[in-house]
Amino acid sequence: MAPGKKMLLLAALCGLAWVQTGLWAQTGLTTIQDTLFKADGTRFNGTLTIQWSTFDAVDIGTIEQQSAVVVVVNGNLDVQLAPNATAQPPANVYTVMYQSDGLNQFTETWSVPVSTVPLKVAQVRTATQVTSGSGGTGTGTGATGTPTPITESSVVNLVADLAQRPLKGAGFGTNAVAYVDDNGMLETAVGDPGSCVLVDGTTGPCGAPTYADAETPGGTIDGVNNTFTLANTPLGSSLMLFLNGLYTTANFDYTLTGSTIQFATGATPQPGDTLTASYRVDTSAGGDIVSLTAPGGVLHTAAAQVICSAAGTSTGAAAWTSLGGCNIPVAGLLSGDRIEVRATFAHSGTTTGFSFQVNWGTTTILARSGAPQDSGAAGRADAAITAGGAQVSIESWGSVLPFQAGILNAPAQAGLEVIFLGEVSQAGSDSITLTNFTVLRYPGT
């Protein structure tokens, strides 16, 4: 080749080299080049999803938040990234998620320095978070495998953000509406499933509630007639029926069908007896509510809220056995509230006696024993909630067991369980059954 042509060719090659060098310096990217393997020695095949937040890179400029997917075939990884080790804002990292076999295998973070030579993954890895399949997580350094937990305080703004979230209060429960109390805690609203929740967290019937107070059921009290009629159909189990001022129990002293009351044999009102009923009106049944005693027909009665109402279980054991229970959250034990507890027990057999008991949290408020001839028994408790606990009045009786009443004080408790217990005097053929229990709340005003 002629000397002149050699000089031209050499100049062209030098110019190309200068262009390539200039382009490399202009891009300022760092190459990560490595061969990836799986634990069994085979080469990794899959993808790497690389994500980053906006940062300012040296000699490049502002890198906007985005992500990229890099395909790794037969273990070969080759990717160029803007250096972020000295980026602004500080602590900016690449988040790299490894996917293979249709699963997210693990995630790690990279801090990429400025480098003119390709780097291995181990040279840029800062931490690894294992996510085997789609299951649990754990952390560790990628280079050594030594577990390195990530503390909450090491994550920017995490502790401050967590401090802003509402926490569960003592009255927090499930399957109900939650509200935020005065202390910013989450509590559970207490009330009927069909009640409406007001903005202060209390509950009540939706729309304009209607009540019947001190109504005298229709029917002749002559010792023979055992069927009486109410002016309206009571809503749910809201009927409170009093004979001579004493509370009677549904499905024990009487049965209610629609607006008709039918007394059981032996419980028929006698001449001279007084019968009084109070209840919430089932407005879906139609009819207008009329007050028989309130001046001007204006009624002022708080709506009873059913906390629990269900049938219990049976036992034939000669040891105390839980037959049912009802949880009352702290939101249902506010000063000024009244909690009413009703329970009926059935005794099967005549061989041995039986006992029943009602516990108000850690306090036993009712304990009675029936004779073998008692076919059943009932108990009722009214708890007036105060700042210092509850003042509880109790009543109990049976088919033979005499009527007994009392009053006691129970300590304050942050939520409690009303527990109904039973046992027979001697294990054998007899049993005691909690036929029904109901816990009502009358909210204070």
In Å, what is the CA distance from 251 to each residue of 11, 248, 299, 399?
A: 110, 10, 28, 14
Phi, then psi, of 392 in degrees rounded to 5: -110, 125
d(CA 348, CA 353): 10
The residue to which tokens 């009722």 are assigned: 380
> Edge-to-edge strands of the sheet including 211-215?
211-215, 275-280, 240-243, 246-247
Strands 404-411 and 389-398 come out as antiparallel
Strands 167-168 and 30-35 come out as unpaired
* pTM for this entry: 0.38
Nearest-5° Cα angle at 211, 206 to 212: 165
Longest Cα–Cα distance in the chain: 142
Strands 55-57 and 61-63 come out as antiparallel
CA 308 to chain centre: 17
The residue to which tokens 């273990």 are assigned: 75
Nearest-5° Cα angle at 228, 240 to 345: 50
In Å, what is the CA distance from 61 to each residue of 25, 50, 58, 114, 418?
A: 13, 19, 7, 14, 68
- DSSP, collapsed to helix, strand or coil, labels residue 15 as helix
- The answer to whether 324 touches 416, Cβ cutoff 8 Å, is no
d(CA 441, CA 326): 12
In Å, what is the CA distance from 58 to each residue of 23, 79, 102, 440?
A: 15, 18, 37, 71
What pLDDT, on a 0 to 100 scale, did the predictor assign at position 203?
73
Q: What is the pLDDT along the chain (445 residues), one digit of tens a residue?
A: 555 545 444 444 444 333 343 334 446 899 999 999 998 999 999 999 999 988 888 778 888 889 999 999 999 999 999 998 887 777 578 999 999 988 888 899 999 998 899 999 999 998 766 554 444 444 444 434 445 567 787 788 888 888 888 888 877 877 778 888 777 888 888 877 667 777 767 776 665 457 788 899 999 999 999 999 998 888 778 899 999 988 999 999 999 998 999 999 889 999 999 999 998 876 554 444 443 443 444 344 445 678 888 999 999 999 999 999 998 887 778 888 899 999 999 999 999 999 999 999 999 999 999 999 999 999 999 999 998 899 999 999 999 999 999 999 999 887 889 999 999 999 989 999 999 999 988 887 6
What pLDDT, on a 0 to 100 scale, did the predictor assign at position 416?
87
Sorted by where each starts, the structural domains of the chain and their CATH numbers stand as 27-154 (2.60.40), 211-297 (no CATH), 305-442 (2.60.120)
What pLDDT, on a 0 to 100 scale, did the predictor assign at position 91?
59
